[in-house]
Structure 1
C-alpha cells in the first residue's frame, strides 16, 4: 500500500468529490485530514472512515481565511507528523444565482476567495512542510472543465477555475526544486446527487457512455499522487468522459 501512513489533507471533504477522495486515501492506508467548513458534514466523513477501519481526523477550515489554512496545516503536523499530500478540493459556485448584469462584487469575491485564493493559501502552507520531507510532497488542485468552456452567467466560477489551472503550473515551476509536484484535475459532469435519477440522454451524450461519479476523480487523484508518477507535474488532467472533445453543432 503506497499510501500507508502518508498524511493527506483533503479540503471540502464533507460531501461529494472531497468525501470520495478522503475515503479513497483512507482505504489505501493513509492518515487523512478532513478539512471542512461544515462541521457536521466533516465530522461525519471522519467518523465514517474510522468506522471502516481507516485513520481520519476532522479539522474545521475556511480555506479563504489565512489563519484557518495555517491552523489546518499546523494541526495536521501535530496529528500525523507532516503533510505528504494536499488535495485542494474545496470550492463554491456563486452563493446567489445571478445573471452577469446582476452579479455583485461581493459574490464574485466570495467565489474567487474560496476557490482560487483557497488553493493558494493551502498550497503555500502545505508546501512549507513538504519541502522538508525527504520525498517532498504532492499537491493536486481540483479545477473544472469550466476553465475551458462555459454556460451563460457563470463568470465568477469560470474565472476562479481558470485561475486554479494557471496557479497550478506556476506552483509546479516554483516548487519543483523543493521536490513538490503540482497538478490539477478538471472534472466534467460528476453527479454527486441521485445518480439513478439521471436520464438516458445524460449518459449517452458522453463519449464514455455515462455521467461521472466522485470515485472517478478519486482515482485520478490517486494516479497523480503516486510515487510512480512524479514525472507528471504542471499538468491539467481532464476527467469528463470525453465531453470537451466532442464537437457539437446546433441542429
Structure 2
C-alpha cells in the first residue's frame, strides 16, 4: 500500500463525495493529502478519518471561485511539505439541471463556467511552477464528466464546461509533458455517494442501470482507484488521456437499453 509513498497530493473539493473517496485512497497508498474545500468542519472530519487509519492529511480552506484562495492553497502546501506532486481538480459546480439554451441566463452560464473551467484552469496554472521545480515533475488529474460525451436535453452549461475541461487536459499534457508533468482527465458515470444517494431518484437509477454494461452503479472508490493509478509512477507513460469510468455507459450505441426491453439484438 505504498504506490504514492512520500508524494504530496492536493485534492480539491474533498470534503464530500468523490473527493473523499480519492483522498482516502491516496492516504492509504502513502500520500500526504491536503483536503480542501469551503466547509472546514466536513474537511476536518475527513482528515480525522484518515489519521485514524494511520494516514497523513491536513485541511486547507479553498474556494474554487476565488483566485486568492487557490494561490494560498498552493503556496501553503509547498511551504509545509516542500513540494507538490499531485493535483486533483475535483471541485466543481454540479449543475446537472441547468437547462436548455433558451432557458439559461448569462448569470447561470457564468456561474457554472467560473467553477468548472475557470477554477480548474487557475488551479492548474498555479500548481505548475511548483511541479516544474520537481525533478520528477507531477501529475494533474482533472475530474470531467460523461456530460461532455454528447448532447443532452438539459445541463447545457455543465456539459459545455466539462467539454472545456477535456480540452484543457490535452493542452496541459502537451505543453508541459517534456517537463515530466502529466495531465489526464477522468470522466465519472453515475456515482452514488453517501451525500447524494437520498437525492438520486430511483427512476434515474433505473435509466442508467439499463444502459450500464455492468450490474451496479459507480461509487467514489471506482474513481479513486483510477486516480491512484494516474497519480502513481505506474502511469508514467499515460498523459493527455480522457478516461471514462462509467461502467461502459458511453461505449455502445444509444439504442441498447430499448432493444434490451424488446429482448432483441436489433430491429
TM above 0.5, yes or no, is yes
Question: TM-score band (shorter)?
Answer: over 0.9
Bigger Rg, structure 1 or 2? 2
- Offset, 1:197: 8.7
Name the residue aligned to 1:238.
Answer: 244
3-state secondary structure, aligned to 2:214: coil
Task: Give the CA deviation at 1:17.
Answer: 0.4
Instruction: Assess if the C-alpha contact under 8 Å between 2:97 and 2:155 holds in 1.
Output: no
Aligned partners of 2:52, 2:36: CA distance in 1, in Å? 18
2:54 alignment partner in structure 1: 53
Matches of 2:230 and 2:152 in 1, distance apart? 29
Match of 2:78 in 1: 77
| TM-superposition CA deviations, 1:186-230 (whole Å, max 9, x none) | 111111133999667754531122111110000110111121211
Residues 17-52 of structure 1, C-alpha deviations (whole Å, 9 max, x = no match): 001000000111110001112222222211221222
11-20 vs 118-127, greater mean Cα deviation: 118-127
Match of 1:9 in 2: 10
1:112-133 C-alpha deviation (Å, 9 max, x unpaired):
1101111111111111101111
Is the aligned partner of 1:44 residue 2:48?
Answer: no
Separation in structure 2 between the aligned mates of residue 68 and residue 168 of structure 1, nearest angstrom: 22
Counterparts of 1:111-126 in structure 2, within 5 Å, are 111-126=112-127
Which segment is superposed worse, 136-145 or 87-96? 87-96
Q: Which residue is 2:168 aligned to?
A: 167
Deviates more, 1:2-11 or 1:93-102: 93-102
Distance in 1 (CA, whole Å) between partners of 2:96 and 2:67 is 21
Alignment of 1:1-251 (within 5 A): 1-94=2-95, 97-192=98-193, 193-194=196-197, 202-249=208-255
Contact 1:186 1:239 in 2 (8 A): yes
Tell me, in whole angstroms, the C-alpha distance in 2 between the residues paired with 1:97 and 1:139: 28
- Alignment gaps of 5+ in structure 2: 260-267
Indicate the RMSD between aligned Cα atoms, in angstroms. Answer: 2.1
